[in-house]
Amino acid sequence: MPRVTTADELLAKYAAGERNFQESNLVGVDLVRSTLQDADLKGANLSFGKLSGVNLQGADLRGADLSSANLMGASLYGANLWEANLIGADLSFADLREANLHGAYLWEAKLTRAQLQGSDLSGAKMGGAILTGADLSGATLPDGTVRAWASPLADKAE
């Protein structure tokens, strides 16, 4: 399995068809608006990464370190973030629909206006997380309860 340490190396291998980047050390990497759909980044260290607008749809980020990463506007639709470290990460405006965030560490994370519809937040640690304007319709909350789906008209009235 190729472990990579730079954005250029990661993107070149991804472009060549490689998808397995488990345990890669990419601290502070700049992947703004890159496409890494379905990449396997299990256990990778992406802390302090510049990942705004990145496409990580369907990516496997189980146990990955994304602490203090900038993921503003990132697409993480259907991504697996099981027990990922997202402490202090900025996920404002991110698409986390249908994402698995079971047991994720979201302390002090910014989820302002994030789309979390249908996501699994069961067991997530969310102390100090900012959820202003986030859509949690149909999401499984940290305590295991499921948030009711909101009607579009009710959302516009708020």
Q: Residues for the chain: how many in total?
A: 158
Q: What CATH number does the domain containing 29 carry?
A: 2.160.20
Q: Please report whether residue 131 resides in a domain.
A: yes
Q: Distance (Å, rounded) from C-alpha 30 to C-alpha 53?
A: 11
Q: Cα–Cα distances in Å, from 152 out to 16, 75, 92, 96, 158?
A: 42, 22, 21, 18, 10
Domain that holds residue 92: 1-145
Q: Please report whether residue 154 resides in a domain.
A: no
Q: Please report whether residue 106 resides in a domain.
A: yes
Give the global pTM: 0.92
Res. 149 pLDDT band, cuts 50 70 90: confident
Q: Give me the residues paired with residue 90 across strands.
A: 70, 110
Q: Please report whether residue 126 resides in a domain.
A: yes
Q: Distance (Å, rounded) from C-alpha 74 to C-alpha 68?
A: 14
Number of domains in the chain: 1
pLDDT at 154: 40
Tens-digit pLDDT profile for residues 14-58:
999 999 999 999 999 999 999 999 999 999 999 999 999 999 999
Tens-digit pLDDT profile for residues 51-77:
999 999 999 999 999 999 999 999 999
Mean pLDDT value across residues 119-141: 96
- Contact (Cβ atoms closer than 8 angstroms) between residue 24 and residue 41: yes
Q: Please report whether residue 123 resides in a domain.
A: yes
- Contact (Cβ atoms closer than 8 angstroms) between residue 94 and residue 111: yes
Q: Please report whether residue 90 resides in a domain.
A: yes
Q: Please report whether residue 150 resides in a domain.
A: no
Q: Please report whether residue 158 resides in a domain.
A: no
